[in-house]
Structure 1
């Protein structure tokens, strides 16, 4: 498996795990039985759990174009030092974004998001220029 596909698998794995923190917070606040029901409109989670949920939604939104571009690159046989670097930067920027988002650190979180977004477009550039 290429490094690019490995980084995609890591990013997908990270995203797949991000529902756990806010569900655990819901269980801690409401108990297991109530947590298994649909969320009420007036239900309030702790601020960090709400941020964890938003970090998860953001990760899902960013993963879709990243995954599509990685797969297109792989199918087109585009793999070089720049594509490897772009996928690695994307993954570590997403890890930083999740941590910073849940911790409630706004400006550096935005920078981490932007770095991941730029890495996605750097990868796209490599694919389109081949």
Structure 2
């Protein structure tokens, strides 16, 4: 039996996948706390504008994580396949995880206001670029 160890980079992707798989919870809590008058919310969900701002932000936090997690995860998988791990990939992964958790928490609570929220998102994009650079250096 071959024993494999989980790299930090892949571990970060796993943690982010769990976060992405769980970020529907704040949104659904908000939707259920503030029901909207709709004929059939299952057929056509009510507009986010009818909910408190934090519910809308919870929805956006989930979408924003998915927007960055998909490319980041693909890049980590390619680096893994190429055996291209380095200090750059370790730091990019660790920083990316911290940024994405901070972004989600700050977005939902409303504490990550302008210009902090777009700066966090942009820093996450830079982590994606660093991981892409590692792919080409491998």
Match of 1:129 in 2: 137
- The range that moved more, 35-44 or 52-61, is 35-44
Match of 2:115 in 1: 107
TM-aligned CA distance change 1:75 to 1:45, over 3 Å = same
Structure 1 residue ranges without an equivalent (≥5):
none
Deviation string, structure 1 residues 90-125 (Cα, Å, up to 9, x no partner): 111111111221233221111111111101111110
Match of 1:11 in 2: 16
Query: How far apart are the structure 2 equivalents of 1:79 and 1:43?
Result: 44
Match of 2:27 in 1: 22
TM-score, normalization: structure 2?
Answer: 0.84
Structure 2 residue ranges without an equivalent (≥5):
1-5
Q: Is residue 89–residue 131 contact of structure 2 (8 Å, CA) maintained in 1?
A: yes
**Is the helix fraction higher in 1 or 2?**
1
Number of matched pairs: 128
Residue 79 of structure 1 aligns to a residue whose secondary structure is coil
Shift of 1:27: 1.0
Shift of 1:128: 0.5
Q: Is residue 16–residue 69 contact of structure 2 (8 Å, CA) maintained in 1?
A: yes
TM-score, normalization: structure 1?
Answer: 0.89
Q: Is residue 55–residue 102 contact of structure 1 (8 Å, CA) maintained in 2?
A: yes
Match of 2:76 in 1: 70
